[in-house]
Amino acid sequence: MTADRPTLAYLAPSDPARPQPGRANDEEADRSEEAVLTAYLFHLAARGHRVLRHRVVTEPALASSDLYDATAGELVMACRRFHQALVTASGVIADCARLFPPGRCALLFTAEPGPASLELLSHHGIVAIWPAGRSFERANPGAAGERG
């Protein structure tokens, strides 16, 4: 297996999503991303969505996407709200999308992203999702300020 021929490894419910292979260990980021992924997984499951947890496996090891919402056709990757993390995550999820049926890509933030981040994601056609109380908000690419 190479970066040109990645494979999918499906994770069991008890398998941690973090730390990701190929990414520098950052305990704070790992904890916050793991927490938002778990909350979002439960959020989707409570709404009857079929969600697959996975890791994209390449050699050398690269960071990968985290969830595939098969019901909505949406590939999701958790991301902290820092510009460098956003740029990296948007490239990784775009690369990983080739292994899934055509659909949407989404970055799941640990907190509400700012306007510049939302503009960047919209430009690249990537959905932004973040926790909002006991639920989640999302900004869909397209018209400025479109949320759903």
CB-CB contact of 30 with 19 (8 Å)? yes
What's the pLDDT score for residue 57?
A: 72
Give all strands (DSSP E) within 38-83, no chain letters: 51-57, 67-69, 74-79
- Per 3-state DSSP, the chain is made up of helix, strand and coil in percentages (nearest 5) of 30, 25, 45
Highest mean pLDDT among 13-17, 93-97, 104-108: 104-108
Q: Tokens 């969830």 sit at which residue?
A: 67
User: Which region among 34-38, 61-65, 93-97 has the lowest average model confidence (pLDDT)?
Assistant: 61-65
What's the pLDDT score for residue 1?
A: 44
The count of structural domains within the chain is 1
Residue 60 placed within a domain? yes
**Is the pLDDT assigned to residue 74 strictly greater than 90?**
yes
Residue 148 placed within a domain? no
CB-CB contact of 19 with 13 (8 Å)? no
Residue 125 placed within a domain? yes
Residue 73 placed within a domain? yes
Cβ burial of 127 (10 Å; 0-12, 13-18, 19+) is buried
CB-CB contact of 36 with 85 (8 Å)? no
* Residue 38 domain boundaries: 7-11+26-139
Pick the residue with more confidence: 147 or 84? 84
Three-state SS at 127:
strand
Residue 20 placed within a domain? no
Residue 112 placed within a domain? yes
Residue 48 placed within a domain? yes
Q: What CATH number is attached to the domain comprising 100?
A: 3.40.1350
- pTM confidence score: 0.82
**Is the pLDDT assigned to residue 6 strictly greater than 50?**
yes
Residue 96 placed within a domain? yes
Q: Which two tokens stand for residue 79?
A: 């991301």
The DSSP symbol for 70 reads: T
